Amino acid sequence: MKFERIIVIISCVLMCGFATAQNANSLLLEKVNLQHTQLGKVHKYVISGQTDQAVYELLQYYRLKNNNYLKVSTDDILYLKNDFKEEVEKTIRTADEVLNHYFLFRYDWDMEKTNIPHQFENEINWTAIPNGDEEWCYMLNRHRFWIDLGKAYLLTGDEKYAKGFVNQVTHWIDENPLEERLKHLSWRRIEAGIRCENWIKTFEYVKESKHVTPEFLSKFLNSLYQHGEYINSSFSNFSKTSNWGVIEYHGLFSLAHFFDEFKIAPKWQENAIKKLTTCINLQVLSDGNHWEQSPMYHNEVFHCYLNVCFIAKNKKIELPEPVLEKTKAMAYANVKWQKPNFKQPLLGDSDDTDIRGLLTLAAYLFTDPILKSRAFTSFDYENVFLLGKKASKEYEVIVPQKPDFLSTYQKGAGDFYMRTSWNKDATYASLHLRKLGCGHGHDNLLHFTLFANGRDYLVDGGRYTYVNNEWREYFKSNKAHNTLGVDNLPNSIYQDSWTNKYEARSQGIYTVSEENFDYGEAENTAYKRLDDPVSLKRRVLFLKKANVWLIFDSFSAKHTHTYSQYFNFPNNNVDLKDGRIETNYKNDNLRIQPIKNLEIKLSDEWWSQEYNLKTECKRAEFYKKATGFTSFLTALYFPQQVKLQYEKTPVYNRNNIALADKDVEAVTVTFGNKEYTLLVVHNSPAPAAHFYIVKNQMVSGEVVLIEKTGEVVKSYTIKN
């Protein structure tokens, strides 16, 4: 009797499993457009009630249909193995780690990288938060690492990688039902959108495997269909104005074409395009910047729209003009802010990431020679895997062309990027003149960075974490940026990881870019909130041929305050000596020289090049306690490259009466046979009193640059 009961139990289990599989097949086939011209066999078996055979034929169809993403052919595999040996080894190593339930998130565009690996001893816990940071759980549930399983399968033919993918997807689906309790972890809408791309890509890599069975296909497609319904069920105002909405509906667009033989596909495509158009119109400014003022998230959004353009091009789908135009504008925004080492700036919540791979895809899709000049000269590993060797030959035909601009002001975002050339040895600086970004934005108004001689000198502090703790506040603070402060108070007042109690704002933004110099200025109104309101203004002049910067920072109040300049370095190669700050590399050192008397201190601080990573560095603070008006005049230059002399220069009115610093100041710098005098008016005595005498020259204007070469004098009115 006991043996018979065991047989009955086993039979019940098998029948339940069979019934479940049959039910899954029926649910799936109900969604399929059986009138699709290439699904005749599927239709025939559905009519005859043979759902198992129908799903089998659906799998054969999926194996033959054109891929959304994967264009690499089997003939390209040898090319990948020969020409990208390091990348191939890394792919296989990562795939083996994933099979072993060992996770370390290190892809270039991982939004939250990790440096400490985590290994599950048994099954993967998809809601695990091993280090107290929920971002780890979000990264786990984006499943980017499964793509390496697919790549490893193509590269080696080893079935263990396809089997691992099938097993892990199956486990995830079984362990993660779409329930309210999981919508803040494994089923956040942003993760659902990201998964669509990663699941589809991996499936396209492994679909020929024997482990991709009809039973798996049924479970897999049903789950992806659920993803599509979930994404399409909501489009909140938050999604409309956030990178989330783009990521969500990029996922739906991918699904619409992966499911193009399903009844719902045309509606999903229509909805996805409509909503992606809404998002790009709302979120991407006229200058191509994403409004959140984070290159990292700008490029996540850019990646999504590139995929949309890529799929549309392959499927011959006409996209709305705003999507095409603004996607290309996003590519050009990358060109404008790209550092000479090809990386994006660490503005807002960003990592120090090379952007050539994205620009390579953009240059290919838009056949754009300017984009190619800032991209890879030939396809990188990821783009070969995506597009194939045939497309790489098409790309190589595009002749790169350097942009016809150097320095540029991005008016929408308020960022001024100054550069001397498009070469690797170019000098590059940035000035952040407007604050838009909220959650991903930092307390960085009037922030100044400097890259030259192949290295970073003055840097943004980075982001490090999203956990609401002292580190999040530290890295978002004005002190972690090369900006200004009053009375040791922040510009914006931090509330939590994503919001501020008070937002700093700027006004009076003004920029000029000429062949020999760049100039930018703005006023930070943050400290007008004080009982004794303080006005502070930053003016920056860049003399391009000499790599010399003059910074005029002015502060105005009635009573006494302590005013500060902050300069953040990427390491400890900095010294304080002789009343100045200077880096101490073997060559090409930067000197930061105050021209007026100030106090200086050098402190041990932290720099974060990427999420979850911080390294020791130095911060210099120039500060002064003053009553009423005061100003900091600062020269930045490379003393091993230019023998600079500087002096504060007296200014007179047209009656030859010396004027006070609170009204007008000038600085003269001399190097070689050149002499430059910059005059800045802080407070014009009267509307008509705009004529000044400086260095025996009569000039007029609020900001004037006098250039003297030998006996030849030229005057530039930068601002009237």
Separation of alpha carbons 598 and 565, rounded Å: 10
CA within 13 Å, CB half, 165: 36
Q: Determine how many CB atoms are found less than 10 A away from the CB of residue 687.
A: 6
Cα 53 versus chain centre, distance: 47
Separation of alpha carbons 13 and 28, rounded Å: 22
Q: String of b and e for 298-335 (b: at least 16 CB within 10 Å)? A: bbbbbbbbbbbbbbbeeeeeebeeebbebbbbbbbbbb
Separation of alpha carbons 189 and 97, rounded Å: 27
Cβ–Cβ < 8 Å for 459, 451? no
Amino acid letter for position 142: R
pLDDT value at position 8? Answer: 41
Cβ–Cβ < 8 Å for 557, 628? yes
Q: Determine how many CB atoms are found less than 10 A away from the CB of residue 104.
A: 16
CA within 13 Å, CB half, 17: 7
The total number of residues shown for the chain amounts to 720
**Sole residue written with tokens 């959650």:** 439
pLDDT in tens, 210-246: 999 999 999 999 999 999 999 999 999 999 999 999 9
**Sole residue written with tokens 């302590």:** 562
- Burial degree of 393 (CB within 10 A; 0-12, 13-18, 19+): exposed
Cα 268 versus chain centre, distance: 28
**Sole residue written with tokens 């065991």:** 6
Separation of alpha carbons 455 and 341, rounded Å: 8
Pinpoint the alpha helices (H) of 407-527: 470-476
Separation of alpha carbons 54 and 84, rounded Å: 41
- Burial degree of 105 (CB within 10 A; 0-12, 13-18, 19+): buried
Q: What's 659's DSSP letter? A: P
pLDDT value at position 431? Answer: 98
Q: What's 562's DSSP letter? A: E
Relative to beta strand 674-681, strand 703-709 is: antiparallel
The closest of 669, 675, 453 to 549, measured between CA atoms, is: 669
The closest of 372, 276, 373, 376 to 327, measured between CA atoms, is: 276
SS3 666: strand
Separation of alpha carbons 615 and 624, rounded Å: 29
Q: String of b and e for 408-433 (b: at least 16 CB within 10 Å)? A: bbbbbbbbbbbbbeeeeebbbbbbbb
Binned average pLDDT, 10 residues per bin, the chain of 720 residues? 46 45 84 90 92 94 92 89 96 98 95 94 95 95 98 97 98 97 96 97 97 97 97 96 97 96 96 98 96 96 98 95 97 98 97 98 98 97 94 95 96 96 97 89 96 98 96 97 97 95 96 96 97 97 96 97 98 96 97 97 97 97 97 97 96 93 96 95 72 93 95 94
Q: What's 627's DSSP letter? A: E
Separation of alpha carbons 280 and 241, rounded Å: 9
Q: Can you read off the two tokens belonging to residue 213?
A: 């069975």
Separation of alpha carbons 140 and 185, rounded Å: 10
Q: Can you read off the two tokens belonging to residue 105?
A: 């998130």
**Sole residue written with tokens 């020929």:** 208
Q: Can you read off the two tokens belonging to residue 652?
A: 């007179």
SS3 341: coil
- Crossing angle of helices 265-283 and 321-337, rounded to 10°: 50
- For residue 419, give the H/E element and its range: strand 415-419
Q: Classify residue 237 as left (phi > 0), alpha (psi -120 to 50) or beta.
A: alpha
Separation of alpha carbons 703 and 681, rounded Å: 6
Task: Compute the Cα dihedral for 355, 357, 362, 368 and give only its sign.
Answer: positive
pLDDT in tens, 663-706: 999 999 999 899 999 999 998 766 556 799 999 999 999 999 99
pLDDT value at position 554? Answer: 97
Cα 375 versus chain centre, distance: 16
Separation of alpha carbons 429 and 669, rounded Å: 20
pLDDT value at position 573? Answer: 98
CA within 13 Å, CB half, 45: 16
Q: How far is CA 277 from CA 192, 237, 682, in A?
A: 20, 14, 45
Separation of alpha carbons 538 and 642, rounded Å: 25
Q: How far is CA 101 from CA 184, 194, 292, 509, in A?
A: 23, 20, 35, 52
The closest of 500, 484, 591, 497 to 547, measured between CA atoms, is: 591
CA R_g for the chain: 30
pLDDT value at position 18? Answer: 45
The closest of 340, 302, 335, 385 to 88, measured between CA atoms, is: 385
**Domains of the chain by start residue, with CATH:** 25-65 (no CATH), 71-208 (1.50.10.100), 408-639 (2.70.98.70), 643-720 (no CATH)
CA within 13 Å, CB half, 80: 28
Non-local (6+) Cβ contacts of 139 within 8 A are 105, 110, 111, 112, 114
- Burial degree of 517 (CB within 10 A; 0-12, 13-18, 19+): buried
- The distance in angstroms from the start CA to the end CA of the chain is 103
Separation of alpha carbons 515 and 544, rounded Å: 8
